Structure 1
Amino acid sequence: MKNIKIAVLGGGGKTGKYLVNQLLKQGFSIKLLLRTPENFTIQNSQIEIIKGDAIDANAIRLLLKGCRAVISTIGQRPGEPMVASRATIHILKTMQKYNIKRYVLLAGINIDTPFDNKSEKTTLATNWMKTNYPEIQKDRQLTYDLLNDSVVDWTLVRVPFIEFSDVSSELVISLEDCTGDKISARNIADFMVKEMMDSEFSRKSPFISSI
């Protein structure tokens, strides 16, 4: 799969590094958008680094050129402009320009969709996020709306508390509710790469968590 190049956003983050390693393990080439490439420690000839910011349209164009799919684990940094929806606006536009079909991205359980049947526990967690981080919540919800209004083959993966470990557990996957309290970064990476290839949850927002 070395001729198949994947655009990755958030690859320098805690979860993103697991994603990068999983893509390399599966034999993909990677174009990686990094704001501070000098801090990135994974060395591999199949990685091409683009220096730039996800909210910059030109950086996204450079990143996506020549790629077959886009995967993002990008997170919101405190005190900085909202990144999720702005990045997605640029990504969706550029995907159309380069005829890229597949976009898989990560979000929290606080995103609402019309297909949800959230338990009291998940609803409390969602409402806590809305109360304490209203701007981030609004930005992430807007991202879902942008995806829904697009024509691309997207999957928005919703996860609970992330444990940064290589533990690989059996997963519970649901389109209605998050039944588990946590998930490992390794499990997230494995699921996102598999979903990128299989499109089992095309244009859907599955919750994934450890049993």
Structure 2
Amino acid sequence: MKNIQKVAVLGGNGRTGNHLVRQLLEKGFDLKVLLRNPENFSIQNPKIEIVKGDALEMNCIRDLLKDCDVAISTLGQRQNEPLTALKATGNILKVMKEYAIKRYILLAGLNVDTPFDKKSDITISATNYMKTNFPEIQEDRQKAYDALVESNIDWTLVRVPFIDFNVPSSKILISLEDCLGERIAATAITRFMIKVLEESIFIKQAPFIAGE
């Protein structure tokens, strides 16, 4: 994707989000990072503009996306807090339309279903585990995917298995139909998300990625 000057980042204070912020900085991007608790953010760089706020608040998303060219999110569900996926996605899509921002890349689990899936028994089992044990979270994430499909945004939903924070980045296995592995390094996820951004690939698609 050409002419990207400023990237809006959601979830930047999470374990995967921290890797994303650092790798985007290494690539030379200017960033606006939405943080509920900026005092806990350890990355210091003049190319970062911090926006204090919550993705569930529309005005915070407006502050974040102003003057940005693209949005990238690693937001996850917060324990013992209101459902995040659909509400945050709705806010982001609405503000992107207002600001004429077209590109949105976000992270999700392999449990999200699409009409193009041919999930293996292992992936189906992992999906069904979420549906059985966390039905509200599962439904919320599925509705967020549906909202993306119904939008005019050039979105990419990156679906991943168990995230491993203790292994180095490895070769990535990619499929639009099934998850080809049971875990992936956090650094590999963020490297792939940046590749999707830079090369304008997997637009309006939901690739699975896993470590080899």
Say yes or no: TM over 0.5: yes
- Counterpart of 2:72? 71
Q: Report the 3-state secondary structure (helix = DSSP H, G, I; strand = E; otherwise coil) of the residue aligned with 2:71.
A: strand
Q: Residue by residue, what CA displacement relative to the aligned partner does 1:23-81 show, whole Å, maximum 9, x if unpaired?
A: 00000010000000000000000000000000000000000000000000001111111
CA contact (8 A) 1:12 1:34 kept: yes
Cα deviation for residue 190 of structure 1 reads 0.5
- Counterpart of 1:55? 56
Cα deviation for residue 3 of structure 1 reads 7.3
- Counterpart of 1:25? 26
- Whole-angstrom CA distance in 2 between matches of 1:124 and 1:189: 26
Name structure 2 gaps, 5 residues minimum: none
- Whole-angstrom CA distance in 1 between matches of 2:165 and 2:30: 24
Cα deviation for residue 20 of structure 1 reads 0.2
What is the number of residues matched between the two proteins?
211
CA contact (8 A) 2:8 2:64 kept: yes
- Whole-angstrom CA distance in 2 between matches of 1:117 and 1:40: 40
- Whole-angstrom CA distance in 2 between matches of 1:31 and 1:82: 24
TM-score normalised by length of structure 1: 0.98
- Counterpart of 2:154? 153
- Whole-angstrom CA distance in 2 between matches of 1:105 and 1:189: 10
- Counterpart of 2:89? 88
CA contact (8 A) 1:168 1:187 kept: yes
Letter in 1 for 2:185: S
Mean Cα deviation higher: 194-203 or 97-106: 194-203
Name structure 1 gaps, 5 residues minimum: none
- Whole-angstrom CA distance in 2 between matches of 1:111 and 1:24: 30
- Counterpart of 1:189? 190
- What is the identity percentage for the equivalent residue pairs of Structure 1 and Structure 2? 58
CA contact (8 A) 1:174 1:206 kept: yes
1:110 aligns with 2:106: no
Letter in 1 for 2:152: V
Cα deviation for residue 199 of structure 1 reads 2.0
| Cα RMSD, aligned residues only | 1.3
CA contact (8 A) 2:4 2:70 kept: no
CA contact (8 A) 1:2 1:29 kept: no
CA contact (8 A) 1:3 1:29 kept: no
